[in-house]
Structure 1
Amino acid sequence: MRRFSVQASLPPVPVPPARSLPLWRAIKVARGNTLAVIPAQAFEVPVFDQSSAILGRSFLVSDPEGVKRVLLDEVANYPKSEFQNRIFAAAFGDGILTSGGETWKAHRRLMAPAFDPRSVEAHAPMMAATARAFVDGWRPGETIDVAQAMAELSLKIIARAMFSGAGDDLGPRMDQTLRAMDVILADFGLIDVVPGVRGLRWRARERRIAAGFAVFDSWIAELIGSRRAAPAGGDLLDRLIAARDPETGLGLSDRQVRDQLVTIFVAGHETTAVVLAWTWYLLSQNPEAEARLHAELDASPGAPPAYARQVVEEAMRIFPPVPRIPLRRAAADDVICGVQIPKGAYVCVAPWVIHRHRSLWKDPERFDPGRFAGERPARFSYLPFGAGPRGCIGASLALTEVAIVLTEVARRYRLKLAPGQVVAMKPRMTLRPLGRIGMELVARAA
């Protein structure tokens, strides 16, 4: 087995243990970083057996054909696990992330036009203007927490895309809700997947999550009512209210609109903020890539150059915004890459592992935007937004936003990692940084 090494430029990335940790040790390590318990073998084999006394039979699938089988070819045999779906449903209700069956199919059809290329492009001027106005508040030489700054900026952008001018009122309300969610979910651990225990713990959490969304729910109910009476003209809220299923002609109820809005808002805000924070960090540690980005921006005063997209795509490979796709559970016996998967076994697809897999990527710890300059990676070897029918509906919107923000900021500033700054990860549903990432703003010549 090849030794794992992590470049000095990537201090947050844990070196995988040589073998699976004993249960007591895994629980202790996972409290700090759940990704740090994944052993080196998982990054080298098509399917890794990670069965344990807690989860029972469980498999980590990384081979592209195996991933395709789970997420596309045999997707009906691998529904989301009930207990993990419950985590999301407490906040998102019956939104596109949590619904299933015919309800999910109908809602996906109904929502798809709002995220087609023309619709996404219509938001680009607003995204650029919002980013420029946000950066106007910065001053050369000051040190910012780039993780917090990108969270604030992405919150403004997604709120305006969804609610137009009313989105400026939503930001503070939703920020309070998201902070409450963080507190509620902070103590989630391995004990929460233990049968018999998880139900009791999650009933209490569900009540707290509902209370945390009370202010937002009141605000959005009033806004939905006013928009049904008088549409504002073209934002995502108006489009969801007006949308009709092309097969049935049915629209969404107020509650269904709310659930879709919360899903899009939270997922869209969180993933773009995480991607941007890690992108700035990676650029600060890779001066050649940073210099090339600046050179191409200077030569291309209009739309984001191709290299900006390559930078973003490579950042999402190294730090995928969602490190683990929600667990699936086999409805019937199956075989994946020659490995027997028994009925009831949990199946995990982890972009964190796939994006570092030794059979799929050369020097996977190295930051190299050039990987995305030519032929695209195999479809199921690169999953920043999932894949298959349940892949992220807002992937194009998120990628457009990140590229625009990167472009607008990098035209005016270099972001330099503050001296003594320790950078770490906080993997939860998304791959957040742990604490702040202090970065000094260095003005670029006009």
Structure 2
Amino acid sequence: QAQGYVEARTGQGTWVTEKLPESFLVKAENTNSQAQEKKTQQNYNLSQRGSYLIGYSAASPYQWGAFVPGAPDVTEFPHHIFSRIQTRLSREPEINSLIYSNAGGCLELRQELAEYLKIARSVQCDADQIIITEGTHQAIDLVSRTLSDPGDEVWIEDPAYWGARNILRINGVNLRSLSVDQEGIIPDLEPKTPPKLIFVTPSHQYPLGSHLSLERRKQLIAIARQHKSWIVEDDYDSEFRFSGQPFPSLQGLEPDAPVIYMGTFSKTIYPALRIGYLVVPKKLFSPLRIVASELYRGGHLLDQKVLAEFIREGHYEAHIRRMRLLYSKRHAFLIDLITRHLGANFLHEYNTAAGLHLILKLPSNMDDVLIASNALDQGVKVRALSQYYTKHYSTRQKGLLLGFACVREQEILVAFGVLLKCLRNAGVRTLS
């Protein structure tokens, strides 16, 4: 046994042990106060929208550590390079960098993004089609407020990202949740009520991990053209594919496709940067720019200039290449742990060699919410797959989202040992 948390078995390599050092575990804070806060809010005279958001809030207070899904390793970012550029541009900043922006964001960043997206994602665009946002949430809010009315039909994947669902619902649309399989979202080819918007994550479906097949992509575009709908493509985790070539964007599949492309720097740089972007058809640029200015009074132009220079000098692509290799190793390490200690049948069939998390599949009779709660009590942060669904609980797939990107292999090993104990306590039979 080595240091109390790893044991070497002759001919079998390194295995997990349940004897874990306290220094590796971050004990969960008492969550009763959070529940009490929600209960207290019910006594206030809130709007229906406010009450809904509080009742269905799902943002975790834990944004770092094993196994937080979707969290990049911010410690590996070249902060010294970024800060050097920041210092240089901040010495004598242009006046235009310090005032409100109503032009859709920093021109230099939009130009760099246009060139990068053409090469990396096959996105067909110019700088005058790009609107800089403060991230995915703001982008979804902007699109839904500008292009849909209360009561309009909007399609979304099921399971789906809770944040997208919450934003759309408080904007009053009628959400229709469509099931997902190994080819991505299953579209309704003859909808009784045509959708105004179709939200999809085609490159790496969140949370399951499947990618949208070419046939389904063409079906969605045909539906959107027929009903004058807009497809909103959230190109989630497209930068981090560990084998084969990245799937090109849905936006670039056909000329003048009715697609709004959405991206963010939260996973490739760090979430606190709060810079994202929309690539929109030219006829939508002006209305979306005006609405964005009226709603959000854009700014952060100096930060955007710094990011533009970071991209222009080649640091962004170099960082992505390095992180892709690092995440690939952590992904393979976690896959190996699951296979050796639980068996390959616990790897969800939709998992692909991509992204910042994977799905640990559980038997349908397991309570993944309870297992996640018990793991959190032991300092390990996982999300229950069933909570991403809108359908009846009995039909939801059971599993755990395991984020592997933001922690080193040693920490993955320790946290997995804790998770194994929680699984055994829940009745899961393990191989070790």
Query: Do Structure 1 and Structure 2 share a fold, with TM-score over 0.5?
Result: no
- Specify which structure has the higher proportion of helix: 1
Calculate the TM-score normalised by the size of structure 2.
Answer: 0.28
Calculate the TM-score normalised by the size of structure 1.
Answer: 0.27
Which structure carries more relative contact order (alpha carbon 8 Å, separation 6+)? Answer: 1
- Specify which structure has the higher proportion of strand: 2
